[in-house]
Structure 1
Amino acid sequence: MSHDTYQFLLYAMSVAGAVVFVALYFVRAGYGMFRTSSWGISLPNKLAWMLMEAPAFVIMLWGWLSSDIDVFAPQFVFACLFLLHYFQRSFVFPLLMRGKSRMPVAIVAMGIVFNILNGMLLITSFFSYPSAEDLYAEGCGYWMHSFPWIGLALFIAGMSINLHSDYVIRHLRKPGDTKHYLPQKGFYRYVTSANYLGELIEWTGFALLTASPAAWVFVWWTAANLVPRADAIYRRYREEFGCEALKDKKRIIPYIY
């Protein structure tokens, strides 16, 4: 990817993220508890998640294997962490899903486009963009700074919260049960979308770890999608369970929002 294309996509996706952030407060993305027939053709959830998330894994793996970095380069760690997340998201998470939910093809298509663009921006930033040579030229010396370690700690903490929250959600229902339940364990004691909280922390940590503009755009897009959806989930729970059940919970950021 050329320098001009990289810069253009960074700005374009930043602006698009702002549009998405506002739009999702008015339009509920039609998957999960908000899926309706108006979203058109749908796919089984397991297949949909694999198709949607796998491009990110494949692109990062391709970018890494096509580069000439060694195992001592900071980018090696970045790629491993990204691949760890997306291997779980693409090939493990879908297989753990219960029930027979479906996802609209339109949502899957939008997810694929985003993951391709995001993946291309990240591998350009890590492996070929000119500034990467200067930013990561220290090699092992990169780890002498504090921000990479703070970022790594946040990434691990966020991924742990995300995985545990998914586990809690999966075990809310017994086989055959289709009712909605208010999750109470883990960080669900503080927010109604603890899985989204974990993902926000995880990718904020990744951005601090990598010091990459592309990673910060990724954080912005993550927030633009998840914060409005967390609000929609909070409102749905309030309708179903009442204000009293949610009195001590926030949407996505404990004690704040």
Structure 2
Amino acid sequence: MAEIFNTFLVVMALVALVVFIALYFVEAGYGMLFNKKWGLSIPNRWGWMLMEAPVFIAMAALWYFSDRRTEPVCLCFFLLFQLHYLQRAFIFPFLIKGNSRMPLGIISMGIFFNILNALMQGGWIFYISSPERYPVSWFHSPQFIIGTILFFCGMFINIHSDKIIRDLRKPGDKRHYIPRGGMFRYVSSANYFGEILEWTGFAVLTWSWAGAVFAWWTFANLTPRSAALYRRYKNEFGNEFTKEKRKRIIPFIY
């Protein structure tokens, strides 16, 4: 079982590399980059819920049917993971303003990846890792402490940045604006930076290859998108945007 799981992780990491390269040439057509070429679409809030809820449900099932569901450290990992997707699947969609839409193609790919990711994280935490891997003393380890700090810092940045974006428009307004404040002082995709930081923290606090592959997937998916958004801001706002000299997604670096 462990060998199969390790092969699964390698395949997922290699697919993420392909996605990383491809997204520099093909823009994922949702949000500010919405494109009808991606096919039929539904309201954004329902799209987000349909896309994110399956991972919450799948992870809950993996936890429930595991003999290790009451182990303190594994339970903590589970609750942190679920906290993110509780917000993303059942709170964030109902905070969305406006009438934006999301293509069904994007939603389908998101559902597929999210289920695979639940298998990665839940599979490692509850089925593949040995019971001795995460003793109660893990709560005092540098990995858990540093990773948890990174996780919550990333979550805060992500949620705060999403709020800044939501507040840019008044009801009925369909124009685009340059987001400012918070981490947007440093990068044009602060919400994505927060998400990368969050899952990097999760990889550190679990100190697992499964967590690392998910952090790599997050980076591979969001970094090319941040570059596409940067181009859109630059083309739409010109010097008003470029004079601020902010980076795309990693402060002071890229």
TM-score normalised by the chain length of structure 1? 0.95
Q: What root-mean-square deviation, in Å, do the aligned CA atoms of Structure 1 and Structure 2 show?
A: 1.2
For residues 220-235 of structure 1, what are the structure 2 equivalents within 5 Å?
A: 220-235=216-231
Q: Are residues 1:171 and 2:167 paired?
A: yes
For residues 59-78 of structure 1, what are the structure 2 equivalents within 5 Å?
A: 59-69=58-68, 73-78=72-77
- Are the counterparts in 2 of residues 193 and 252 from structure 1 also a CA contact under 8 Å? yes
**1:196 Cα deviation after fit:** 0.3
Which of 129, 132, 137 is the matching residue for 2:130? 132
> Quick one: distance in 1 between partners of 2:176 and 2:58?
36
Aligned position for 1:37: 36
> Quick one: distance in 2 between partners of 1:234 and 1:202?
22
Amino acid at match of 2:232: R
Amino acid at match of 1:144: H
Deviations 1:17-57 (A, max 9, x none): 00000000000001012112211111111111111001111
**1:70 Cα deviation after fit:** 5.8
SS in 1 for 2:130: helix
> Quick one: distance in 2 between partners of 1:95 and 1:21?
30
For residues 34-183 of structure 1, what are the structure 2 equivalents within 5 Å?
A: 34-69=33-68, 73-129=72-128, 131-136=129-134, 138=135, 140-183=136-179
Percent of residue pairs identical: 51
**1:134 Cα deviation after fit:** 3.1
> Quick one: distance in 2 between partners of 1:153 and 1:133?
25
Amino acid at match of 1:226: L
Q: How many residue pairs are counted as aligned between the two chains?
A: 253
> Quick one: distance in 2 between partners of 1:111 and 1:18?
17
> Quick one: distance in 1 between partners of 2:109 and 2:71?
36
Amino acid at match of 1:22: I
- Are the counterparts in 2 of residues 64 and 127 from structure 1 also a CA contact under 8 Å? yes
**1:71 Cα deviation after fit:** 5.0
> Quick one: distance in 2 between partners of 1:176 and 1:244?
24
**1:132 Cα deviation after fit:** 3.2
Q: Are residues 1:206 and 2:198 paired?
A: no
Deviates more, 1:3-12 or 1:226-235: 3-12
- Are the counterparts in 1 of residues 69 and 126 from structure 2 also a CA contact under 8 Å? no
Structure 1 runs (4+) deviating above 6 angstroms are none
- Are the counterparts in 1 of residues 145 and 205 from structure 2 also a CA contact under 8 Å? yes
- Are the counterparts in 2 of residues 53 and 89 from structure 1 also a CA contact under 8 Å? yes
